[in-house]
Amino acid sequence: MKLDLYAVYSIWLREMIRFFRLRSRMVGSLGAPFFFLAFLGIGFGSAGSSVSAIPGIPEGINYISYLTPGIIGMTLLFSSTFAGLSVLWDREFGFLKEIMVAPVSRIAIVLGRTAGGVTTAIMQSMIILISGLAMGMKLPSIEGFLLSFVFMVLIAATFIGMGLAFASKMTDMSGFSLIMNFLIFPLFFISGAIYPIERFPQEARVLVYIDPLTYGVDGLRYSLIGPGANTLPILLDLGVLALICILMLGLGTYLFEASEVE
Amino acid sequence: MDNAAIAMRGLTKKFNGFTAVDSMDLTIDKGELFGLLGPNGAGKSTIIKMLTTMLVPSAGTASVWGHDVASDRDAVRSSIGVVFQDPSVDSMLTGRENLDFHGRMYGLDRSTRQKRIEEVLDLVDLKDKADVKIEDYSGGMQRRLEIARGLMHHPKVLFLDEPTLGLDAQTRRYIWKYVRKMNEDEGVTVVLTTHYMDEADYLCHRVAIIDNGKIIALDTPENLKDMIGADTITLEAQSGEDALLKFLSKMEWILTREVSDGVITLGVDHAESRLPQIMLDACQNNVVIRSVSVHEPTLEDVFLKFTGRKIRAAEAANQARMFAMWRKRK
């Protein structure tokens, strides 16, 4: 199959134009993670203190440092799922047809969307990272900062694939709040983004390990805070997340290809 | 050299047992401005969707510019432009950005895109609105932009699905003008669907009348109307009716003649060319005519003749059938 890089770039460019044109949407979607960061940070951590109110957080790490990678995970989760689901909007407003009759492979369309979604999700994550630093998070190392990009790309691509899979199976927007409340929020809460996964009872642990975001948040902690902040081995995080990412993108592409435009 | 732009052989599409397009055979020549005319629900849009690779045929074959629509989709996609029935522009982008995106998707380089954007915007008179977001366009402007976009990449065949649906009379006239102009100036083969009789009559070189997924008539609008036969001239004499009838009886080209309550109805071959002679003879025979009216057959009459119902009635029936199907599915 032909991989049309120029088409990938065009679709990415469109996403960028839309992202910067719809500033209110960008600010709006950052509201929730920002307030989670600010208010959980105030409530459970004490500024300047390395002792946190939540047991199980590794020694010497203040809560805001611990929380910020989790909230970055949240930002990536929400932003990317929306990016995947935005195919629904394109179908609703007819633009999907314009893309579908173009002499461009379906894979190029998916890759273009993914590239656009990943870029916007990472830009939003950077704003959350800066907010976290302003609230007292310790500066990450250069290598850690670079490594965090690998995790951010993987997390974003995973959930874009998931959103795309759902969008291909849905005929309208009616299932949207179901996905929001019964999938996205649980994925966020059980990922260990707010408190360590050891706090979950043993019986619920299997759900924790099914959640791709668990590995993503753990990897982000390793990258942004430093070795020792992670719960699972870093190579396990990387391997499992990469695998799930490929599966999700594959599923999304497959279902998107199979879906009829009308 | 094969002169067919589009060739369908036994083309069929079924949805859950309902046959939308029923083994259709049709050849459309290169350079033609061809119309698929029929009521809503007749299967026109389904034909367009198969020809534009949006739907896969259930049976039969179709080729566009020599490329098979099922097995050679990318080649078909590169040879066609499509203007869909429903809006398909990104309303957050400007007109120019929409065109630019389109050009990129069809692999045009930057300088070609820039040149071509100016050309097509000029064709549809939208140059001054190029940098306005589509959400601030009127319905007619949006339609014109979509037509311009369909032409951007020099398609061999342009499909227009109900190009003037829901537009006011003046805008429809404009759209017709643009469609003609691009068929003539750019030499592009145009296939359009419509359920407006006047649109098919005015625009198309040839028309296929479609009902229930089948072609029921296929010819030039003129020949189709000639099949109905006579134009009718209705005369009402104020005085000298007898003299009038006397000289009318000598005119051999009058096909039918009816008189009731002083109103004379004549069936003739070409009303426009016959009427002056009737009026001239009336003057010479001192007949005073109170009123004259002429009715020429329309494509509506053709549809009525072949299906036994008016196109509006056919639409109502199609809607009822689709509603029944939809309820069954639920």
**Would you place residue B327 in the very low, low, confident or very high pLDDT band (cuts 50, 70, 90)?**
low
H/E stretch holding B259: strand B254-260
Question: Chain B: residue nearest A9 by CA?
Answer: B104
Beta bridge partners of B209: B37, B217
Q: Chain B within 8 Å of A138 (Cβ-Cβ)?
A: no
Dihedral (C-alpha) A107, A109, A115, A121: value to the nearest 10 degrees? -120
Q: Chain A within 8 Å of B86 (Cβ-Cβ)?
A: yes
Per-residue pLDDT at A50 exceeds 70? no
Of A2, A14, A105, the CB nearest to B90: A14
Q: Chain A within 8 Å of B27 (Cβ-Cβ)?
A: no
Per-residue pLDDT at A111 exceeds 80? yes
Contacts of B113 in chain A (CB under 8 A): none
Residue-level pLDDT at A233: 95
Instruction: Determine, for residues B93 and A14 on separate chains, whether the beta-carbon distance falls below 8 Å.
Output: yes
More confident residue, A53 or A19: A19
More confident residue, B96 or B266: B96
- Fold (CATH) for B230-295: Alpha-Beta Plaits (3.30.70)
Q: Chain B within 8 Å of A3 (Cβ-Cβ)?
A: no
Exposure class string for A111-126: b at 16+ Cβ within 10 A, else e: bbbbbbbbbbbbbbbe
Cα–Cα distances (Å) from A163 to A8, A239, B254, in that order, read 19, 22, 72
Enumerate the CATH 3.30.70.260 domain ranges in chain B, comma separated: 230-295
Domain boundaries, chain A: 5-258
More confident residue, B106 or A27: B106
Residue-level pLDDT at A47: 52
**Would you place residue B261 in the very low, low, confident or very high pLDDT band (cuts 50, 70, 90)?**
confident
% of chain B beyond a pLDDT of 90 = 51
Instruction: Determine, for residues B101 and A10 on separate chains, whether the beta-carbon distance falls below 8 Å.
Output: yes
State how far residue A167 is from chain B, nearest Cα, in angstroms: 18
Long-range contacts of B112-118 (CB under 8 A, 24+ apart): B116/B152, B116/B153, B116/B154, B117/B152
Residue-level pLDDT at A260: 64
Question: Chain A: residue nearest B77 by CA?
Answer: A103
Over range A102-106, report the average pLDDT. Answer: 90
Q: Chain B within 8 Å of A106 (Cβ-Cβ)?
A: no
Of A18, A94, A102, the CB nearest to B105: A102
H/E stretch holding B24: strand B18-29
Q: Chain A within 8 Å of B67 (Cβ-Cβ)?
A: no
Distance CA B307, CA B212 (A): 10
The candidate with the shortest Cα–Cα distance to B35, out of B226, B167, B218, B164, is B218
Q: Is the torsion defined by CA of B152, A84, A167, A174 positive or negative?
A: negative
> What is the model's pTM?
0.83
Instruction: Determine, for residues B88 and A104 on separate chains, whether the beta-carbon distance falls below 8 Å.
Output: no
Residue-level pLDDT at B29: 96
Per-residue pLDDT at B321 exceeds 80? no
More confident residue, B267 or A84: A84
Contacts of A14 in chain B (CB under 8 A): 90, 93, 101
State how far residue A51 is from chain B, nearest Cα, in angstroms: 49
Q: Which CATH class is domain B4-225?
A: alpha beta
Sheet containing strand B80-83, strands side by side: B80-83, B157-161, B189-194, B33-37, B206-211, B214-219
Residue-level pLDDT at A53: 63
Residue-level pLDDT at A1: 44
Enumerate the CATH 3.40.50.300 domain ranges in chain B, comma separated: 4-225
- Write the DSSP symbol of residue A182: I
Per-residue pLDDT at A81 exceeds 90? yes
More confident residue, A39 or B226: A39
Per-residue pLDDT at B180 exceeds 80? yes
Q: pLDDT for B196-232, tens place per residue? A: 889 999 999 999 999 999 999 999 999 998 887 778 8
Name residue B225's amino acid. K
Q: pLDDT for A138-190, tens place per residue? A: 999 999 999 999 999 999 999 999 999 999 988 777 888 888 889 999 999 99
Per-residue pLDDT at A76 exceeds 60? yes
